[in-house]
Amino acid sequence: MSDFVFVKSSYSASGGECVEVADNIVGTVAIRDSKTGPSPILRVTPTAWRTFHTTLQADNANRSHRT
């Protein structure tokens, strides 16, 4: 098994919801919750991760236009 190099989300700086993502392994993006210690790792394809990330960005943009 390869070693993932996780990076904490910039949105996790407040210390609350801590998400870490690793994309250093070809063909896999790994996601984990850093505040639960050695938590389980969710593995997705890079395509699935891009789709998820793009959808979140669009949702956030839509929310900011509604206020």
Q: Are 28 and 40 in contact (CB under 8 A)?
A: no
How much is the pLDDT for 21?
A: 92
pLDDT at 67 over 60: no
| pTM recorded for the entire structure | 0.74
User: What is d(CA 43, CA 47) in angstroms, rounded to the nearest whole number?
Assistant: 12
Q: For residue 2, count CB atoms less than 10 angstroms from its CB and return exposed for 0-12, middle for 13-18, buried for 19 or more.
A: exposed
- Per-residue pLDDT tens for 26-53? 999 999 988 776 778 999 999 999 999 8
Residue found under tokens 């919801």: 17
Which residues touch 55 (CB under 8 Å, ≥6 apart)? Answer: none
- Per-residue pLDDT tens for 1-26? 469 999 887 766 666 668 889 999 99
